[in-house]
Structure 1
């Protein structure tokens, strides 16, 4: 029981010796609260020990300068203030005052964590910033603008009916029934009002006019802007086969999509997942958690082989098979006739619930019609500015010059979108901050997390440390002798170190 939990480690109000630290950290308590002591250079800091994102243990994280990075999903916190400096964490952590007498460390007064950042705004200005999109990039951009003290108008236009949510949860814990719906919103409704962010849901945008600096809404209204952020995201690729329009056939992108699948799963006996993508297999795992028989049909020889390689692909397949998933690989669905799915191989699968996870495509129509430079995504500079000054792009639509891979890349990952929203916001304010974060994503399959840092569209070889089978491994994806990406299972600190190494070796 949570109420029976005892505080961790020594009582820090009575003091501890610097020699008691392990790897520069020590977990103790002040009263009933756990506190993590962290040595950074010659200084000692005291901070809440759990990441504010998904409560990853910071004692197992990586100290970089005067910050600490979460081992699970690579959020970053300032040790001095507790501020969340890098997504996916959004909320600050509490910090405590530390007294040092030679090698004796004592923790005393707690300094409360700041409220969700609603800037100490200066005098209002007449500037109008518009954000098109209600996903990760758009939300973090709006919040960052207020954090950075922007006092003008912020209008956020979303064609979704739900407030910005933690989208990774839609295919993971929420879909599996392990997380309530009130976990999903990134901020509550009051936040937008308090922060002065005009969030307009169910609002479509029909056009952007760079010359008149205005956005045309679906109802014909025009909205002027001084700076504009395009964060329109991506949309699922639709099945183009007979029977794909039946009511028991679903996609997964929005809260409404996830709700519909959960509702259908209440009476479903057998589910068919079309596509062995990360989303597709996370859906498969979530439906297995609901005790539904799951079949996966995909054209690949192995799931996730292109991204993770054959060895990891075989592991992912066996992991799902051990949990009851039935694979039909090197195959495709040619027709859905009621609940009967006809396969190209001649086989037939009866399924009363079908989910298509065959990829997504960036929403580029607005950018194309506005005359912005487009190349398999919206082309942006290192500052995330498009070919038109004052118009920025971030998230799934943005193709940017990546200093590590030395290519222009577009990445469809949640954390990348959040971090781009953060950088884009600062550059909307004229900061000229380069976006040079190393891409990162995670995927969860049952009790196995896979962390991936970097970006390797192709690779010559994979160096494997440890054992994939034993769920203790680090894989390095190399091209021309350079490590472009690293994947790991339960080697979180090594994954963080790989990220830092990539940051320090940028071209």
Structure 2
């Protein structure tokens, strides 16, 4: 989660360093008043910003500098070197910045600067909307609200969420939080006071019954009508539910919300054995977290290899071996037939002891509201390059949005946290009339024990997988290619190359 300030390392930048110690294009970490500071030189300009990413504390000295920005090696957050501003999710908070002075062939870091307000954007299309309504309290909805206020939008914001908890850091629910390594105060994306302070009308536990497109109103389940000038649909996805006998028992869980994660944690305290149904990212992250808690874990899935559909056979074999090394027992090419009070019967006839069952068999986009309102849909809500739906003034972002991806040339829908956050921010700009195309390259990360897997791009199918390095040695880069073109890149412990692949895709050089 968020990084901690370690003991200052490197030179005291208040005392200065020689200009020759920081060559053009170079990065150097020192400290000022006990805080780690990253120096970056680009030609005659030298920038001084906080040395760790504001997301999970990644070391920015190991990141990638492109134009006047620096990208985090861990989860591809991006920051403006001039202002410290968070340009791209998953970071939402800016970096601290310091003044820099050059004299006598030396570089001196001065006082910390105040983070400036965003400069007014050019090309606005008319006056801003008086009222914006956001349906959904996940990554996209929160990022939209946060960006609207960051852009100095003064109108009304209503965020309607059927969750009982304020927006949370969902990736952590299956990773460190579930494993018992992250305290709960790390989980909210912002403290509750943030919403009041920023005049965001956050309505939790509130269900939407429908959208009246002509009247420009959202109709709530209790009959209340909420008018809007611009509307963002960010309803996300919901877990596919088991339909086999015994699926409705209290020890059978799915994982989507903070409440779900809390329930699994509570039940795991007395559980000796668990069965995870599904070898997806969520399923295997849950398996790793439960193993960390000392619980015997069996994974049941119909495929031949875990995650082969996304990462290919070589990475699938590695992931299976990694989990088996940590004690997970796989039952592949098999499914659950029924669930008892303390066991799971498989279609193969085997019976597995199970004090806890977690189903991770996929999710479905929640597009019912969009369909009922007459918005164009196709296995998701269809949007244009500006994330606007077929109804002007209504936008969609996150797991439900199917958008024209300029990198693959296809209409795609992905279920990645970072994509949802970035789309929420882009939709916010477009609801304010800035006409900003969404062109970001999809990115996600997955954590299995101490092994991170980073993935940039989008490859629903490929004809070649090029493996560079050694997967078993946890030092590799995989290129997923179709017709000679790189569609996606997966890496283990090759963070710089992952960032370089992302930049190449953005520049059309893949």
| TM-score normalised per structure 1 | 0.96
1:72 aligns with 2:74: yes
1:361 aligns with 2:364: yes
What's the CA shift for 1:84?
Answer: 0.9
1:435 aligns with 2:438: yes
1:307 aligns with 2:310: yes
Correspondence 1:342-357 to 2 at 5 A: 342-357=345-360
Deviation readout 1:373-403 (Å, 9 max, x if unpaired): 0000000000000000000000000000000
What's the CA shift for 1:75?
Answer: 0.4
1:29 aligns with 2:34: no
CA contact (8 A) 1:60 1:493 kept: yes
Residue from 198, 201, 204 that aligns with 1:198: 201
CA contact (8 A) 2:128 2:432 kept: no
Q: Equivalent residue for 2:17? A: 16
CA contact (8 A) 1:386 1:393 kept: yes
CA contact (8 A) 2:343 2:354 kept: yes
Equivalent position SS for 1:324: coil
What's the CA shift for 1:103?
Answer: 4.2
Residues 101, 191 of structure 1: alpha-carbon distance in 2 compared, 3 angstrom cutoff? same
What's the CA shift for 1:17?
Answer: 2.0
Equivalent position SS for 1:169: helix
1:43 aligns with 2:53: no
Q: Equivalent residue for 2:141? A: 138
| TM-score normalised per structure 2 | 0.95
Residues 126, 487 of structure 1: alpha-carbon distance in 2 compared, 3 angstrom cutoff? closer
Whole-angstrom distance in 2 between the partners of 1:54 and 1:253? 21
Q: Equivalent residue for 1:452? A: 455
Equivalent position SS for 2:246: coil
Residue from 282, 304, 313 that aligns with 2:285: 282
Residue from 219, 230, 244 that aligns with 1:227: 230
Mark the runs of 5 or more structure 2 residues left unpaired by the alignment: 121-126
Bigger mean CA deviation after superposition, 402-411 or 16-25:
16-25
Residue from 335, 340, 348 that aligns with 1:337: 340
CA contact (8 A) 1:404 1:506 kept: no
Residue from 379, 395, 403 that aligns with 2:382: 379
CA contact (8 A) 2:463 2:483 kept: yes
Q: Equivalent residue for 1:110? A: 112
Equivalent position SS for 2:399: helix
CA contact (8 A) 1:416 1:440 kept: yes
Equivalent position SS for 1:422: helix
What's the CA shift for 1:10?
Answer: 1.1
Deviation readout 1:301-352 (Å, 9 max, x if unpaired): 0000010011100000000000000000011111112222111111110101
Whole-angstrom distance in 2 between the partners of 1:390 and 1:3? 42
Whole-angstrom distance in 1 between the partners of 2:67 and 2:104? 22
What's the CA shift for 1:447?
Answer: 0.3
Whole-angstrom distance in 2 between the partners of 1:42 and 1:483? 35
CA contact (8 A) 2:4 2:57 kept: no
CA contact (8 A) 2:129 2:230 kept: no
Whole-angstrom distance in 1 between the partners of 2:415 and 2:154? 31
Deviation readout 1:145-203 (Å, 9 max, x if unpaired): 11112111100000000000000010001000001111111111111111110000000
Whole-angstrom distance in 2 between the partners of 1:102 and 1:403? 48
Mark the runs of 5 or more structure 1 residues left unpaired by the alignment: none
1:481 aligns with 2:491: no
What's the CA shift for 1:109?
Answer: 1.1
Bigger mean CA deviation after superposition, 395-404 or 78-87:
78-87
Equivalent position SS for 2:337: strand
What's the CA shift for 1:235?
Answer: 0.1
Residue from 174, 177, 180 that aligns with 2:183: 180
Whole-angstrom distance in 1 between the partners of 2:429 and 2:416? 20
Whole-angstrom distance in 2 between the partners of 1:439 and 1:126? 29
What's the CA shift for 1:33?
Answer: 1.6
What's the CA shift for 1:11?
Answer: 1.5
Q: Equivalent residue for 1:168? A: 171
1:216 aligns with 2:219: yes
What's the CA shift for 1:441?
Answer: 0.2
CA contact (8 A) 2:130 2:155 kept: yes
What's the CA shift for 1:14?
Answer: 1.9
Q: Equivalent residue for 1:58? A: 60
CA contact (8 A) 1:40 1:63 kept: no
